[in-house]
Structure 1
Amino acid sequence: MRISADKDRCIGAGHCVRAAPDLFDSGADGRVTVLRPEPDPARAGLVREVVGLCPNTAISLSGGPDEPSDESGGNLMTVKNDDVAGFYNGTDKFSTAGRIDALWGQNLHFGYWEDDSDDSPIEVATDRLTDLMISGLDPQPGQRVLDIGCGNGNPAMRLVRSRDVRVVGITISELQVEQGQARAAEAGLADRAEFRYADAMDIPFPDGSFDAAWALESMLHMPDRGQVLAETARVLRPGGRLAIADVVERGPVSPEGKVVMDHIRETYKIHSLGTVEEYREQLAAHGFVDVEIRDISDNVLRTGIKLADAVDASRDQFLEHASAAEVDTLTHFMRQAAVTPENGYLFITAKRR
């Protein structure tokens, strides 16, 4: 990857210097100077962010790291279980457990707004998305439900209360297991909601041991969605229902859109983003039928703006862990994600054959 800059197009905003002072400098006229045209490949993500921040696209890249591509044309991230666990355990700089969940509420997922006039607060909007998952899954009283990537346990608790089912949540975050167990005990529902440390790529339960399963914004962390769907099909009984809510990539992907999508993948420890076509193929390949896929992007992407506003309101708290430039980059891309056409969101229901 080689960086170049066009002084004639530079308006001297200084975003690049603040974000990466070891790569860029500004002269007396405020125009950018590239200090290191060949940055460390490990910093490729940061460089792409800087390019995305450049107001007049005065900075450009040529060449690139040897990165594998996914089917949608985007880059696969090298994300390990420890990276994802660290994000949710609170050891990552911008992790939910460390900072964002304190200002976001009990649900660590997107909100759902009915239309542009809907001004529901985030607590209501996130519960509404959980309720959409519940209605799509439609479990019957007494059934056993698998929560794949259960988060902090709050959606599972809402499911247990509303449908009188038993839920088993699995996660690779030790902290989330503790959070889920604590929530269940506090609510007096420990006999109907349990949380275990387990990998969705290798679900530790017998064949046909669940009546239904859901994955609420967890599939994007999976190294192999097909393997997770295969394991889910294995542990579901015939006729068992599945519901998925997931961030996806919508094509065609523009250069500007790729910058935003790459930032989403890097910041939130996402291995890759799926597509509508991939989900249709993978669900069919693993024995799921009656597949319904709804694009609800317009109802949920306001979440990025709401979250950026929340970070701005607690800026001093974030500055204890990150530089001002890093916080600015984070909120900039949160807002960009809300208006980037390539950034999509699907709600999926299906049934095991």
Structure 2
Amino acid sequence: MAAAGEKQKAVVELYENSTGAFEEIFGEHLHDGYYEPGTTATVANHQAAVVRIIDEALRFADVSADDPAKKPRNVLDVGCGIGSTCLYIARKFDVPCKGINISPGQVKRAQASAAARGLESKVSFDVGDALDMPYPDGTFDLVFSIQCIEHLQDKEKFIREMVRVAAPGAAVIILSYAHRILSPDESLNPQENKVLQKICESYVMPSLCSSDDFIRWLTLLPVEDIKRVDWTQNTAPFYELFFKEVYSWRGFTSFLMKGGWSAIKFVLGVKRMAKAVDDGLIKYVTVSCRKQK
């Protein structure tokens, strides 16, 4: 338990140290964006891309604001960052949205954003552990998570928790980095394992799994309509933008001054991540399902 606590502390430190610099350069959404393959990412079009990936994930999971039968009544964002996805979904569907995050600093920032937009009665945020969420079974009509599961050692338990708090018929959506799919008799080679270890150290991730693992864990749970999609080529254009902005004097200084060494380790890790994506080792995947009624 002590080791788990130290890992959680390191995740909190990473995000509380890097969020300010990242937001200053790229805007309030801290996750990857969805671009058409081959598109040149710019600071001007990045916020549209990060909103689009939310919309694409909702569309992929057959969640719709136009069809009452497909519209959620309440939403949970697990690993909610500074609350931007919650705020967007709450406005899009005009429904209550709750976020949970292990970082007190990010939750405080999320609460301030909700208040600034007059949404504090509709959107709320809790500091909590994604592996032991303080919500009753079957609470939410949509359970959503973007780039959170990577930071957890027990990814199977995370998925069980996502499904547990989902109401019957609710969509469960996970966006995540994953390593390449392996054939039944195949393992990652030593060089691949070495690359993944360095990336995980930079991003404070205990490990990465493949999307096959997500599917296998979901098949053990009371869910249906399990599906996945690979959006690696759609998220890849962001890397060139990241390097252009962060490796400038302004960007590097901002990360160094606001985030210190943990933020700089994150910046260096993105370089490794981009190469691993180019080499086909790392994928960006979305997995969705519905809880059985």
Q: Name 1:315's counterpart in structure 2.
A: 252
- Any stretches of 5+ residues in structure 1 without a counterpart? 1-76, 91-95
Between Structure 1 and Structure 2, the one with more helix by share is 2
- Aligned with 1:80: secondary structure? helix
The answer as to whether partners of 1:211 and 1:241 remain within 8 angstroms in 2 is: yes
How far 1:165 moved relative to its partner? 1.6
Q: Distance between the aligned counterparts of 1:283 and 1:300, measured in 2?
A: 25
How far 1:98 moved relative to its partner? 4.6
How far 1:317 moved relative to its partner? 3.3
What do residues 297-342 of structure 1 show as CA deviations (whole Å, max 9, x unaligned)?
Answer: 111122233212221122333455459x979945642542441311
Q: Which of structures 1 and 2 has the bigger CA Rg?
A: 1
Of residues 18, 24, 28 in structure 2, which corresponds to 1:106? 28
Q: Distance between the aligned counterparts of 1:275 and 1:88, measured in 2?
A: 24
Q: Distance between the aligned counterparts of 1:340 and 1:246, measured in 2?
A: 18
Moved more, 118-127 or 301-310: 118-127
Using a 3 Å threshold, how does the CA distance of structure 1 residues 239 and 157 change in structure 2: closer, same or farther?
Answer: same
Q: Name 1:235's counterpart in structure 2.
A: 165
Of residues 306, 321, 331 in structure 1, which corresponds to 2:241? 306
Number of matched pairs: 271
Of residues 183, 205, 212 in structure 1, which corresponds to 2:135? 205
Q: Name 2:100's counterpart in structure 1.
A: 170
Using a 3 Å threshold, how does the CA distance of structure 1 residues 307 and 322 change in structure 2: closer, same or farther?
Answer: same
Bigger RCO (CA 8 Å, 6+ sep): 2
- Any stretches of 5+ residues in structure 2 without a counterpart? 65-69
Q: Name 1:336's counterpart in structure 2.
A: 275
Q: Name 1:268's counterpart in structure 2.
A: 203
- Is residue 146 from structure 1 mapped to residue 76 from structure 2 by the alignment? yes
Q: Name 1:23's counterpart in structure 2.
A: none
How far 1:255 moved relative to its partner? 4.7
How far 1:220 moved relative to its partner? 0.8
* 1:8-47 alignment, distance < 5 Å: none
Q: Distance between the aligned counterparts of 2:266 and 2:104, measured in 1?
A: 27
* 1:9-88 alignment, distance < 5 Å: 80-88=7-15
Relative to the length of structure 1, the TM-score reads 0.70
State percent identity of aligned pairs.
27
Using a 3 Å threshold, how does the CA distance of structure 1 residues 316 and 209 change in structure 2: closer, same or farther?
Answer: closer
The answer as to whether partners of 1:146 and 1:168 remain within 8 angstroms in 2 is: yes
Q: Name 1:346's counterpart in structure 2.
A: 285
Q: Distance between the aligned counterparts of 1:98 and 1:331, measured in 2?
A: 17
How far 1:117 moved relative to its partner? 4.0
Using a 3 Å threshold, how does the CA distance of structure 1 residues 286 and 331 change in structure 2: closer, same or farther?
Answer: closer
- Is residue 277 from structure 1 mapped to residue 212 from structure 2 by the alignment? yes
Using a 3 Å threshold, how does the CA distance of structure 1 residues 184 and 328 change in structure 2: closer, same or farther?
Answer: closer
What do residues 111-150 of structure 1 show as CA deviations (whole Å, max 9, x unaligned)?
Answer: 1111214656222211211222333441655611111111
How far 1:207 moved relative to its partner? 1.4
How far 1:155 moved relative to its partner? 0.9
How far 1:253 moved relative to its partner? 3.7
Q: Distance between the aligned counterparts of 1:253 and 1:285, measured in 2?
A: 25
- Is residue 127 from structure 1 mapped to residue 36 from structure 2 by the alignment? no
Q: Distance between the aligned counterparts of 2:7 and 2:266, measured in 1?
A: 24
Q: Distance between the aligned counterparts of 2:225 and 2:266, measured in 1?
A: 43
Write the letter of the residue equivalent to 2:176. D
Q: Distance between the aligned counterparts of 2:132 and 2:55, measured in 1?
A: 28
How far 1:239 moved relative to its partner? 1.2
How far 1:260 moved relative to its partner? 3.4
Q: Distance between the aligned counterparts of 1:183 and 1:351, measured in 2?
A: 30
What do residues 202-234 of structure 1 show as CA deviations (whole Å, max 9, x unaligned)?
Answer: 111111111110111111112212112222222
Relative to the length of structure 2, the TM-score reads 0.83
How far 1:266 moved relative to its partner? 0.9
- Aligned with 1:169: secondary structure? strand
The answer as to whether partners of 1:304 and 1:338 remain within 8 angstroms in 2 is: no
Using a 3 Å threshold, how does the CA distance of structure 1 residues 300 and 117 change in structure 2: closer, same or farther?
Answer: closer
The answer as to whether partners of 2:77 and 2:85 remain within 8 angstroms in 1 is: no
The answer as to whether partners of 1:248 and 1:273 remain within 8 angstroms in 2 is: yes
- Is residue 183 from structure 1 mapped to residue 113 from structure 2 by the alignment? yes
Q: Name 2:221's counterpart in structure 1.
A: 286
Write the letter of the residue equivalent to 1:84. V
Write the letter of the residue equivalent to 2:165. V
Q: Name 2:85's counterpart in structure 1.
A: 155
Q: Distance between the aligned counterparts of 1:195 and 1:329, measured in 2?
A: 31
The answer as to whether partners of 1:134 and 1:159 remain within 8 angstroms in 2 is: no
